[in-house]
Structure 1
């Protein structure tokens, strides 16, 4: 049994890495189809990141407007996820999972955008079988990317400007 879990975890990690490297997601930056599945992860271990302050003496016109960005992965059980929010990270989490950060695009990011992405692994479906976990990205309270609760087996991504 342990070998099956190890092989499954390795396969999921490789699939997630391939998805990140190939830049999967909607060409328009939405990362999938729209569909509001509610706030399944509300109240469960959210982690808020503190905004970083601008260095003293930096011209005011170099930074853009600050945005509150939340990434979520829905489902049941534990899974490996990869994300780029305020940092790029891969970790094993218990679902549902949520992370929030305040991001201020600076310099070229104001023009070309800053990529926010979350690549969920698999979660246990109602029938006990593994299925793609759901993911969403919310910017300033507005949902901007959603993989339809795992119906679209792609990462959620959005270019923040």
Structure 2
């Protein structure tokens, strides 16, 4: 069991490192589609920008999920799974460069009996901004909040 967890952690780490070079450019054939930046909700007079972010992993059964929302976490979860948080951008750097949110779903057994990536979705302020094409892409779901 320990070897399985360590193997999953290594795979998820590799997936995250692969995604670190993302520049937010438009989707390509091997990259899941991402939407444009949702309209920010500025707090009156404070200069802060708030976004309601929801991460979802769909399917049935159990799988591992690594996510970066308001903290970085790795969990074994029952599907379907959802986490929401209000993310506040306070610094000029966060507003200009962005703050990354992501979810790397584990595998689920498909209708063909083979293991496939579980479908994942990120919504920001109620608008879908990233997905992994219903599990057809091996990429994790990620988005930069600005």
TM-score, scaled to structure 1: 0.72
What is the TM-score when the length of structure 2 is the normalising length?
A: 0.79
Among 23, 32, 54, which residue is 1:70 paired with?
54
Find the aligned partners of 2:5 and 2:125 in 1 and give their Cα distance.
34
Ranges in structure 2 where 5+ consecutive residues have no aligned partner: 35-44
| Greater length-normalized contact order (CA 8 Å, ≥ 6 residues apart) | 1
Q: 1:135 pairs with 113, 120, 125, which one?
A: 120
Hey, what's the Cα distance between the residues in 1 that align with 2:108 and 2:5?
12
The structure-2 alpha-carbon separation of the partners of 1:131 and 1:16, relative to structure 1 and needing over 3 Å to count, comes to: same
Query: 1: distance between equivalents of 2:60 and 2:26?
Result: 24
1:28 to 2:24 alignment: yes
Match of 1:60 in 2: 46
Task: Decide which structure has the larger Cα Rg and report it.
Answer: 1
What's the offset of the Cα at 1:7?
A: 4.8
Provide the alpha-carbon RMSD of the alignment.
2.5
Q: 1:6 and 1:12, CA in 2 relative to 1: closer, same or farther beyond 3 A?
A: same
